[in-house]
Structure 1
Amino acid sequence: MKKLLVITCFLLAGMGFANAQQTSPVWPGCEDADDVKKCFNQKLSKHVQQNYVYPKNEAGEYVRGKVTISFQIDENGKVVVNSVEGAKPKVNQAAKEMILKIPEMEPGTLNGEPDARNFTVPFNF
């Protein structure tokens, strides 16, 4: 009987999560987009092209590298960088600065309440 009760509780909890209404953060300019996620990705790509500044080494040569950035759009629509992983510190710092320039946006929601959303994105600079 206890096993049946535990299984029922898990099923009901799972159904509750399945019925949760969840929305993505809305990048400025994507408010009327048919596909907000697609618009977000397009705006992020454009943001990277316009805001990433290639660092230079001591010889004045551009430093290139691969970096993975984990960031969050918090409950207030602001960007918080969680981590930056890559082999080249100058590239990591430039990538972090670029992500922090993402504009404030309408946060994602969960059941109508503002909710933080996490993103992890690899970049090759």
Structure 2
Amino acid sequence: MRKLLFCFFLLTGFFAFAQNDVEVKGNSVNVKEKAPIWPGCETTLKKEECFNEKFIKLVKEHYRYPRNAEGEFIRGKVLVALEINKEGKAIINSVEGEQKPIVTAVKEMLKHLPQMQPGTIAGKPTAISYKIPLNL
């Protein structure tokens, strides 16, 4: 009777603590990871493509090219390191580039990033980091 009771509690505990989006087959464990979802991309099937399109739209709408002393547009490259935290808020870790006016303009543009649905690992919200190169 004790063995039967032990097996019952063991199986009950196993099923009670099972995680969403985790699949165990033999010796392998597969954990599903989902990227953050940009507002308006919840219903689309290709969420990553939608995320990229929305980010490009944000750049087009909010990036203002700085000008040099002659009035010409300054162009250059920057590398943006950002993180979408567990709450879905974008946290800018760094913006690196050779031209300071471009870095300043990109930082100003990134203030317009919206609140998103956070990314998940095994069904639990988690912070997801991105490094995005921009040629402006």
What are the superposed Cα offsets for residues 39-97 of structure 1, whole Å, 9 maximum, x if unpaired? 11111111111111111233433221111111111111111111111100110111122
Identity of aligned residues (%): 41
The equivalent of 2:44 in structure 1 is 33
Maintained 8 Å contact 1:25/1:107: yes
Give the number of equivalent residue pairs.
110
Q: CA deviation at 1:121?
A: 1.0
Question: Cα RMSD (Å) of the superposition?
Answer: 1.5
Runs of 4 or more, structure 1, over 4 Å off, are: none
Maintained 8 Å contact 1:23/1:110: yes
CA–CA separation in structure 1 for the residues paired with 2:112 and 2:83? 13
The equivalent of 1:11 in structure 2 is none
The yes-or-no answer on 1:15 pairing with 2:42 is no
Maintained 8 Å contact 1:25/1:73: yes
The equivalent of 1:62 in structure 2 is 73
Maintained 8 Å contact 1:80/1:100: no
CA–CA separation in structure 2 for the residues paired with 1:73 and 1:124? 22
* Distance change (3 Å), C-alpha of 1:15 and 1:83: farther
Q: Which of 89, 105, 108 is 2:119 aligned to?
A: 108
- The amino acid of 2:28's aligned partner reads M
The yes-or-no answer on 1:46 pairing with 2:57 is yes
The yes-or-no answer on 1:73 pairing with 2:59 is no
Q: From the CA coordinates, give the structure whose radius of gyration is larger.
A: 2
CA–CA separation in structure 1 for the residues paired with 2:121 and 2:68? 45
- Structure 2's unaligned 5+ residue stretches are 1-26
TM-score, normalised to structure 2, is: 0.75
Which piece of structure 1 moves more, 75-84 or 58-67? 58-67
- The amino acid of 2:85's aligned partner reads D
The equivalent of 1:4 in structure 2 is none
